[in-house]
Structure 1
Amino acid sequence: MQESTALITDSYGLLAVLVLIPATLFYLAENTPLKAFFQKVPVLVFAYVVPSLFVAANIIPSEAPIYSDIMRFVLPASLLLLTLSIDLKGIYNLGPKALLLFFSATAGIVIGGPIALFLFQSYLPEDIWKGFAALAGSWTGGGVNFVAVGVAVGASESMLGMMVIVDVVVAYTWTGLLMFFASRYKRIDAGNQADNSMVERLREKVETFQKETARVSTTSDFMVLIGVAFGAAWLARQIGNWLPPIGGIFDSFAWMIVVVTAFGVILSFTPFRKYEGAGASKLGTLMLYMLIGVIGVKADFTLIAEYPMLIAAGATWMLIHVIIIYLIMRFTRAPLFFMAVGSQANVGGVASAPIVASAFHPALATVGVLLGVAGYVIGTYAGLLTAFLMRLVAGG
């Protein structure tokens, strides 16, 4: 499709569309009778899909300079804001079983990806490993890691668009199943002889934490957050340009993402962490939805018919992940809550892990945020590790 034929082609108009789409979706999800529907199908799904439909309807183009600008400037700032709030001690205090299930879920993605690639690569496009590497970033962290790893390995925009299709079809099918299982967690935990008292203690701790940290944001808060986010992103970019490239995986952009993630973790141990109460992660999530929209415009859903094996490969990958975490849950007699949230924190990230957590109890949503933010921290690293393994499988 030629850009000049689209209804909206100017940068201001495209930026407005990329902001208005998630804004409209969130309004519908919170203030209309569709609220119940969006509780079953998260806004995140439509934040991917609607921009692609706008492209198909010739409302916006699939290519525009503003898209790459958003990637370059918004991505690192978003990542810093989302990692700024990480509470490493809080995550540790969730208990060894919660952390074991979380890291087992990560391992399931890292292991399952190369296996799925080995089984299906002869049926898939050349250099598909690059797209799968980006998907590994998403499935071990979130949308921000998807973009970061994809750009780091040199995945084309069309390849990333194909991975969006796999993500929407496979990952959100799994999310729906997790929410279905959540409604039956007591029966499942009883059958597994799991001690559910840990979940109840978590609920009480989370409710206390929410009451202690909630405050009204000020103009000063937002000025500091914006300044720190873009300032750290710029500094990380300068350091990334200075550091040497490593093989075909780490270039200056990959280094920038690694460095800005490290900045976020370091700042989480300083007084800056208090800005989470002022909405640091909310501002980071707002930026994330802009990034999701940019990726969404690249999604070509006609590719499902062209590459049905692509969906099959993604489903096989997810099945390996599920088998690993299920066996760990059964072996350790861990509550379903830890398995479900640990998995979703990896596969869906901070945008959807709270949704799955709140399906068990609304007060537990923050647990999903904690593990989801942890996913942002390790997602890029795990994604790059998976990229290395996939490159070996592909013979690159």
Structure 2
Amino acid sequence: QKIEQYHAENARIPQVTDLILILAVAFGVTGLSHLLADLIVPWIEREAPHLEMYSLTSSFFWIVVIATTVGLLLSGTKVRKLEAVGASKLGTVFLYVLVATIGMHMDVTAILDYPEMFLVGIVWMACHAGLMLFVARLIRAPLFYMAVGSQANVGGAASAPVVAAAFHPSLAPVGVLLAVLGYGLGTYGAYICGLILQQVAP
């Protein structure tokens, strides 16, 4: 009820100014990320080329890390009030564009060359499901938290609110919050996971 009340009190119809401000923040942070990445990567390549094995000479890596970090920092400022006019919904649209752009560079036929990757995916999801069930039982968490937390981890902001709303419409914002938290932690966690996999790779 508190979540529903908060959403009802703060949500409002976005004006043109609101949309322009959202886009300004989004493109501003993206531009800043590109600028800093273009400065950091050449410096690392010149001063510490051995860090290439950790992907620290990748511009894309720094763009994602910087954008995520700045986004988390902005969430503690007045910029977070843009959520009241649908900032996360507009962000989800851009997320779909990003995923589609990445997908356009993907070679689907390469899956046939590495069928063992399917096994890795199965093991990965099995570990995820097992860990979720174990922790939920350990802390005696309600089914709602386990279901939404799992979906936020796997499906992100696109599907977590749907699962949350299935329990109660007012809980949809909780799904969004968990998904956004997953995006933030996932950026750093995925990098660490990549380093671990790099060490065990043949």
TM range (shorter): 0.7 to 0.9
Whole-Å Cα distance in 2 between the matches of residues 263 and 226 of structure 1?
A: 15
Matches within 5 A, 1:180-329: 204-243=1-40, 244=44, 246-248=51-53, 249-250=55-56, 251-297=58-104, 298=106, 300=108, 307-329=114-136
Matches within 5 A, 1:40-51: none
Q: Give % identity.
A: 45
TM-fit CA distance, 1:324: 1.3
Matches within 5 A, 1:22-61: none
Counterpart residue number, 2:180: 373
Q: Which residue identity does 2:166 align to in structure 1?
A: A
The correspondence for 2:139, drawn from 315, 332, 347, is: 332
Q: Which residue identity does 1:234 align to in structure 2?
A: G
Whole-Å Cα distance in 2 between the matches of residues 318 and 384 of structure 1?
A: 18
| TM-score, normalised by the number of residues in structure 2 | 0.86
Write the deviation string for residues 2-54 of structure 1: whole angstroms up to 9, x where unpaired. xxxxxxxxxxxxxxxxxxxxxxxxxxxxxxxxxxxxxxxxxxxxxxxxxxxxx
Write the deviation string for residues 171-221 of structure 1: whole angstroms up to 9, x where unpaired. xxxxxxxxxxxxxxxxxxxxxxxxxxxxxxxxx122112101110111111
Between 1 and 2, higher relative CO (CA 8 Å, sep ≥ 6) is seen in 1
Cα separation, partners in 2 of 1:213 and 1:389, compared to 1, 3 Å: same
Counterpart residue number, 1:364: 171
Cα separation, partners in 2 of 1:213 and 1:333, compared to 1, 3 Å: same
The number of aligned residues is 191
Counterpart residue number, 1:186: none
Whole-Å Cα distance in 2 between the matches of residues 238 and 306 of structure 1?
A: 37
Q: Which residue identity does 1:273 align to in structure 2?
A: R
Write the deviation string for residues 115-165 of structure 1: whole angstroms up to 9, x where unpaired. xxxxxxxxxxxxxxxxxxxxxxxxxxxxxxxxxxxxxxxxxxxxxxxxxxx
Whole-Å Cα distance in 1 between the matches of residues 79 and 139 of structure 2?
A: 37
Matched, 1:384 2:181: no
Q: Which residue identity does 1:380 align to in structure 2?
A: T
Whole-Å Cα distance in 1 between the matches of residues 87 and 125 of structure 2?
A: 31
List runs of 5+ in structure 1 lacking aligned partners.
Answer: 1-203
Cα separation, partners in 2 of 1:313 and 1:280, compared to 1, 3 Å: same
Name whichever structure is richer in helix by fraction.
2
Q: Which residue identity does 2:27 align to in structure 1?
A: F
Cα separation, partners in 2 of 1:391 and 1:305, compared to 1, 3 Å: closer
Q: 3-state SS of the aligned residue for 2:116? A: helix
Q: Which residue identity does 2:66 align to in structure 1?
A: V
Cα separation, partners in 2 of 1:237 and 1:306, compared to 1, 3 Å: closer
Q: 3-state SS of the aligned residue for 2:195? A: helix
Matches within 5 A, 1:57-96: none
TM-fit CA distance, 1:253: 2.4
Whole-Å Cα distance in 2 between the matches of residues 227 and 238 of structure 1?
A: 16
Q: Which residue identity does 1:263 align to in structure 2?
A: V
Whole-Å Cα distance in 2 between the matches of residues 287 and 311 of structure 1?
A: 28
Counterpart residue number, 1:351: 158
Q: Which residue identity does 1:384 align to in structure 2?
A: Y
| TM-score, normalised by the number of residues in structure 1 | 0.46
TM-fit CA distance, 1:238: 1.4
Write the deviation string for residues 248-271 of structure 1: whole angstroms up to 9, x where unpaired. 322332122211112111211111
TM-fit CA distance, 1:299: 5.6
Runs of at least 4 residues of structure 1 off by over 3 A?
Answer: 302-309
Whole-Å Cα distance in 1 between the matches of residues 107 and 5 of structure 2?
A: 42
Q: 3-state SS of the aligned residue for 2:52? A: coil
